[in-house]
Amino acid sequence: VHLPFAARIVGSIAARVFITFGLTVLSAVLVALVSLSATRDATRRLEQLQDTQQRLSTALKELELGAERENDGVQAYLLSGDERYLQDQAEGQRRFEQAFLDLEGLTDADAGLDRLDAIYLANQRFENSAASQLALYRQNWQRSAIFLWRTEGQDTKRLLEERISDYREWYESTTLADIAAARDAGGRAMLLAVVLILLTAAGSLALGLNLTRSLSRRLGALTMAARAIERDDLTARAVVAGQDEVTELAAAMNRMAEHLETSQRELEESRRRLAQSLEEFRLLSENANDIVYALDVDGCYRYVNPAIEHIAGYRPSEVVGRHFSEFLPEEIRTAQSESFARRMRGEEVSDTAEIEYLGKGGRLVPLDLRIGTVHRDGQIVGMQGIARDVTQRKAMEAQIRQLAEQEHQRAEQLQEVARVGQTIARLASLDELLPKIAGLLHEVFGYERVAIFLLDAESRLSSLRASAGDYAALGPVPFSVSEDQGVVGWVAAHGEPLRLGDVRGDPRYLEIPATAGTRSELAVPIRAAGEVLGVVNLESREPDHFDANDEATLIILADQIATAIQNARLFEQQHGLAVADERNRLAREIHDTLAQGLTAITLQLEVADALLDVGTEQARPMIIKALELTRANLEEARRSVMDLRAAPLQGRDLPGALEELVSGFGREHGLRADFMTRNVSGRLPAAVEAGLYRIAQEALNNVLKHAQASTVHLTLARADDTLLLVIEDDGRGIDPATSRPDRRNGGFGLIGMQERARLLGGELQIVSEPGAGTRVEVEVVVPSRRESAVAAGRT
Amino acid sequence: VRLAGPPLRLVRRLPLLLAIGLLLIGCSPTPPAPAASSRSIRRAAGDAAAAPTTSITWSFWGDPWEVEINRRVARAFEAENPTIRVDLLHQPWDTYFTWLRDQWKSGQAPDVMFLDNVRGYASEGRLAPLDAFIERDGFDLSDFYPRLLELSRYQGSYFGLPRDNDTKVIFYNRTLFQDAGLEPPRRDWTWTDLRNLANRLNRRDAAGRPLVHGFAFEANEWWQIWVWQNGGAVFDDPFEPRQVRLSEPAAVDALQFLADLVHADRVTPPLDVLLDSGAIFRLFREGRLAMAFGNHAQIPGLIEVPDLHWDIVGLPARRAQANLAGGAAYTIAAGSSQKEAAWALVRFLEGPRGQALFNESGLIVPARRSIREDNIFLRQTNYDSQVFADETDRGRPNLNSPLSTDAKRLSNDALLPLWRGEVSAQTAVESLVPRLQQLLER
């Protein structure tokens, strides 16, 4: 590089920078001057407004002080009669007047003048009142003058003060807004100045940059082109424009680049053709499903296609370069190596072989080989081959053997059926029996999913009673299907077995979350005496899992189950818990109430009989007493009979029945009785409804008999899966010292309630203190509504 | 409409200076009605000053001090209303109503009339309804005792506004009680107490001439309060009387009780005094009467007497506690040609200003609650002012019908023989009742 050339370039750049800087400084100074003047105007306006506001404020204060002074003067005069106070009044008036004139001078807006008018009017009233009162005082009506000044006069003063503050509010809202506006204007002027300066600076900078860039851009372009060529981009060219040194440089460089580009293009073409033929070969081998490979003369992999990864688990890169024998199991390694060696010597070797290949992780892959020797220039240079995976074929062969074995097992199953039949015949309770059968079907017969449904003769609903095996969440949740729902419903309705090889697409199949994944299903009716009692249902995640064998086995089992169910039902009818309990309770109640009552009546009548000999008069009280007892017992007997009837719960849910019970109770016995329910809706299990209703009935009877209460509250509430029944009275409470021994007076009722609560699986608590009422709480767990809703969604 | 620019400011200053100037020399224009701007106000003030003077007449009854009080009140009104002159027309109680009827007949009804029995006169068409004025001026009636207000109302319209409640009390001379060694009467005293006290306070000289009389009642008209207290009544309904109940034993007994005080116990002044309330209180002021039946109007007269120590007590009860509800009211004559000016006077008399003045004078129990119950006035005299409040609560309306005047006259005449001691109450009543009944049926 020659020095003058470089110096010319540097000088040209420096001149451009200097011009730019000068322009920037000049425009910034101009803008600063303009904005300074704008800001000063805004400040002056602001000062002016603040001064006005100050004077207005002073004048208003003065107005108030004047009125106050006058008021004080008048009042002092009326109270004392001292004429000197009238000077205060005059002074007040003078100050008021001066302040009012000041205000008028300072107000230009119509709204303000309106308010001044209002002040004027109010002041006139104030002055009138003062004058009237002073006149009355002078006419010797002192008390009236004081009274009227204190009432009427002060009313006018208040009005005046209100008018003054109206004005003040107005001027504060407007004048202060003006001040704020002026302040904003000042701020805006300042902001505008700053923005202008910045814009000017930016503009100057842009100009400067542009000027400098006209030179530096071309140098830059030259450099860029040189760098591009250096990076092998031979199409790059520098811009050739103008007639200076830079242009010459650019033209020389462009010529050099053209030569380079031409030779480069020829090279590229020959390389592309080579790549194409390689690609064709690669596609052939890599898309093959079979392993295509090549070994060199030493037996090391030279090439292997990607199919090896699918078949043996290795990536081609893991294999290439390694000896083929490393991938063969020990026992065939020597034989294969020898065979390879013979081939390399040019001896005749079989072109096919069946071997086991050592896949990744030690797994053996059966392969069928087709092999060929590779010659180049008449010399043996290696071997190439194609290997096919024959795993599936091998598996099929194994399966055929297994099927033969299964036939044998099936025969054994039939023997198991007989054994299960014996087991189930011994079980009495359905609740025990059905899970047992389901368990046996699952464990002994190996069925994947087993469910047993019982059909309700009235509702025609089939309810799940037992299940075993791999169900997601059938559990203990009540789940039932009607006759038009699902395979189970269909079987229950038709009384015939149904076997589905693939449930998908079968309209009778009902998909629910708990049996997700089911592919085949077998359902068999449980029948007795021509009547369908239920359904045994098997499901599997494999398609076509069940065959005629399974069906025959299951039909035999279903017959056995039918017999067992009939037995169990007979047993339960005889020993039904609810019936027994009710009968026991009634027996105890009769014993406790009616029998004792009758004993007492007998006693009275016996005494009466004895007394009849003495005289009828002496016997009469005994007979009357006996009569009373008889009536009381009759009432008791009626109540027992009423208790027996379950009528209240028929056609009603529990809250409805309790509401009726409580309101009837209140009406009948003249107590304040109310019932509240929270969060309880819909039907609950029948046993819970009946049990809680009876407890409520018993508790109310206790309140009536013992509590001497005037109010009783009954609450039924639900929180998640807990149901709470509370009976609360304000009676005399239970004295622990006396409550237990006297069975007739409630001991028995409480025990009865406890038993009922226990039967429902719940708890009963009694909280009471003498004189502080009694609270009976029953807590029962029922399935939460969310689960019920899910169950409802399934059916 | 507002003028703009400098002329406005100049104009605006003038009224203020003028108004302040007027005030300083003691001339107060009428309170202006709300106006649009100060300029129209100035004009109104100027017009008022230039308006011609109107004269109206104001009639009333009363004792001499009442006349004086009314004169001062009228002066205060005139000071505030320079364009109206008020001429006072005074007549004594006995002749007032006869005189008024003569004036009406000759077409010279006073513009503002002080009247009782407003319903009666309203039904005769003598009075002008005031509702339009009340409504126009927003005159607030809520301060009045409602029961009093009701007595000025006829067929839904106000024909007057009540000035006061004519509550009756017993005045007693504390010195005479002290001299006789007696405790002052208690608030719950009875007729028997009254009779015993009257007998013990009554004093005569050696010749049997009375020195001090025990008790005096008004034999005209107000004997009916005693009938009420005995559980009886004169008429079945005070507003629409159909039946005279005076012959019932309760009424006869009450009349006989009063007559016995005169003739059996002889503890009252002579009959001519009992027929004239002025005469009764002359005796009381002289210290020659221990207990006197009267109303608030007597107080200004009593205050003026130096060294007279007196107090008041409610009426003694028998079977019931009763007093009179209703006093007199200010009305405007139906035929008045100066109704606007007359209303200005009524508005002043019934407004807080007039009522305050009356109350300060001690003349009345004001009909406005705020005035009646204000401490400035309660503190001014030395008697048990609570008595008036208590007794007002027991008030019952008097006969309020066009027949009132005739009924009063008939009764007063028929009972004269009783007060004279010529006949028994039974006999007097037997002659009066048929005549009253006849009047009702007419």
User: What pLDDT was estimated at residue B173?
Assistant: 96
Mean pLDDT of B155-180: 93
**What are the residues of chain A with a beta carbon less than 8 Å away from any beta carbon of chain B?**
90, 93, 97, 100-101, 104-105, 110, 113, 116-117, 120-121, 124-125, 127-128, 130-132, 134-136, 139-144, 146-148, 150-152
Phi, psi of B69 (to 5 degrees): -60, -45
User: What pLDDT was estimated at residue A478?
Assistant: 65
Which residues neighbour A396 within 8 Å (Cβ) at sequence distance 6 or greater? Answer: none
Q: pLDDT tens digits, residue range A466-485?
A: 888 877 555 555 677 888 88
Kindly report which listed range (A42-46, B321-325, B409-413) carries the lowest average pLDDT score.
A42-46
Distance from C-alpha of B2 to C-alpha of B343, rounded to nearest angstrom: 35
H-assigned helices in B286-394: 299-303, 339-350, 352-361, 369-372, 375-378, 386-393
User: What pLDDT was estimated at residue B37?
Assistant: 41
Phi, psi of A387 (to 5 degrees): -120, 130
User: What pLDDT was estimated at residue B56?
Assistant: 96
Nearest CB neighbour to B13, from listed A101, A131, A141: A101
Residue of A nearest to B353 (CA): A148
**What are the residues of chain B with a beta carbon less than 8 Å away from any beta carbon of chain A?**
2, 8-9, 12-13, 15-17, 19-20, 23-24, 26, 28-29, 31-32, 34-38, 41, 72, 75-76, 79-80, 352-353, 356-357, 359-360, 370-371, 374, 376-377, 380
Residue of B nearest to A125 (CA): B31
How far off is chain B from A141, nearest CA to CA, in Å?
A: 7
Interchain pair A120, B38: CB under 8 A = yes
Residue A394 confidence (pLDDT) above 60:
yes
Taking contacts as CB-CB distances below 8 angstroms, the residues of chain B near A100 are 16
Residue A286 confidence (pLDDT) above 80:
no
User: What pLDDT was estimated at residue A246?
Assistant: 66
How far off is chain A from B33, nearest CA to CA, in Å?
A: 10
User: What pLDDT was estimated at residue B379?
Assistant: 61
Mean pLDDT of B359-383: 79
How far off is chain A from B31, nearest CA to CA, in Å?
A: 6
Kindly report which listed range (A388-402, A714-728, B131-145) carries the lowest average pLDDT score.
A388-402
Nearest CB neighbour to B41, from listed A124, A134, A150: A124
Mean pLDDT of A755-782: 85
Residue of A nearest to B356 (CA): A144
How far off is chain B from A135, nearest CA to CA, in Å?
A: 8
Interchain pair B2, A130: CB under 8 A = no
Confidence band, pLDDT 50/70/90 cuts, at residue B36 = very low
| DSSP 8-state assignment for residue B244 | B
Interchain pair B360, A141: CB under 8 A = yes
Mean pLDDT of A572-591: 62
Taking contacts as CB-CB distances below 8 angstroms, the residues of chain A near B31 are 125, 128
In this predicted model, which residue has the larger pLDDT, A306 or B255? B255
Please say whether the beta carbons of A150 and A71 come within 8 A.
no
Distance from C-alpha of A172 to C-alpha of B224, rounded to nearest angstrom: 68
User: What pLDDT was estimated at residue B31?
Assistant: 43
Q: pLDDT tens digits, residue range A188-211?
A: 877 887 887 788 778 877 877 777
Kindly report which listed range (A347-361, A586-600, B65-79) carries the lowest average pLDDT score.
A586-600
Residue A768 confidence (pLDDT) above 60:
yes
Residue A362 confidence (pLDDT) above 90:
no
Mean pLDDT of A318-339: 89
Taking contacts as CB-CB distances below 8 angstroms, the residues of chain A near B72 are 139-141
How far off is chain A from B178, nearest CA to CA, in Å?
A: 33
Confidence band, pLDDT 50/70/90 cuts, at residue A580 = low
Interchain pair B75, A146: CB under 8 A = no
User: What pLDDT was estimated at residue A374?
Assistant: 85
Which residues neighbour A615 within 8 Å (Cβ) at sequence distance 6 or greater? Answer: none
Confidence band, pLDDT 50/70/90 cuts, at residue A413 = low
Nearest CB neighbour to B80, from listed A124, A132, A144: A132
Mean pLDDT of chain A: 80
Interchain pair A139, B76: CB under 8 A = yes
B395 conformational bin, left if phi > 0, alpha if psi -120 to 50, beta if neither: beta
Confidence band, pLDDT 50/70/90 cuts, at residue A124 = very high
How far off is chain B from A108, nearest CA to CA, in Å?
A: 9
Taking contacts as CB-CB distances below 8 angstroms, the residues of chain A near B352 are 147-148, 151-152
Residue B44 confidence (pLDDT) above 50:
no
Q: pLDDT tens digits, residue range A632-671?
A: 888 777 666 656 554 566 667 888 888 888 888 888 888 8
3-state SS, residue B163 = coil
**Ranked by mean pLDDT, which of A518-532, B1-15, B29-43 comes out on top?**
A518-532
Interchain pair A143, B13: CB under 8 A = no
Confidence band, pLDDT 50/70/90 cuts, at residue B337 = very high
Mean pLDDT of B146-170: 90
User: What pLDDT was estimated at residue B38?
Assistant: 43
Residue of A nearest to B21 (CA): A93
Taking contacts as CB-CB distances below 8 angstroms, the residues of chain B near A136 are 76, 353, 357
User: What pLDDT was estimated at residue A667?
Assistant: 85
Phi, psi of B91 (to 5 degrees): -140, 145
Mean pLDDT of A531-535: 87
Residue of A nearest to B35 (CA): A121
Whole-Å CA distances, A570 to A252, A435, A681: 116, 19, 35
Residue of B nearest to A122 (CA): B34
Taking contacts as CB-CB distances below 8 angstroms, the residues of chain A near B32 are 121, 124-125
Stretch (H or E) spanning A308: helix A307-312
Interchain pair A127, B15: CB under 8 A = no
Q: Which two tokens stand for residue B355?
A: 């009522």
Mean pLDDT of chain B: 85
User: What pLDDT was estimated at residue B421?
Assistant: 92
Distance from C-alpha of B242 to C-alpha of A152, rounded to nearest angstrom: 47
Interchain pair B19, A117: CB under 8 A = no
Residue of B nearest to A128 (CA): B28
Taking contacts as CB-CB distances below 8 angstroms, the residues of chain B near A130 are 23
Long-range contacts of A627-632 (CB under 8 A, 24+ apart): A629/A597, A629/A600, A629/A601, A629/A604, A630/A597, A630/A601, A632/A597
Partner residues linked to B332 by β-bridges: B112
Mean pLDDT of A316-344: 89
Interchain pair A146, B376: CB under 8 A = yes
Taking contacts as CB-CB distances below 8 angstroms, the residues of chain B near A152 are 352-353
Which residues neighbour B352 within 8 Å (Cβ) at sequence distance 6 or greater? Answer: A147, A148, A151, A152, B143, B368, B370, B371
Exposure of A139 by Cβ count < 10 A (0-12 exposed, 13-18 middle, 19+ buried)? middle
Residue in this structure with the two tokens 């199949």, named with its chain if needed: A509
Residue A692 confidence (pLDDT) above 80:
yes
Kindly report which listed range (A306-315, A785-794, B331-340) carries the lowest average pLDDT score.
A785-794
Partner residues linked to B92 by β-bridges: none
Distance from C-alpha of B197 to C-alpha of B201, rounded to nearest angstrom: 6
* Percent of chain A predicted with pLDDT > 70: 84
Interchain pair A152, B20: CB under 8 A = no
Taking contacts as CB-CB distances below 8 angstroms, the residues of chain A near B360 are 141-144, 147
Mean pLDDT of A38-59: 84
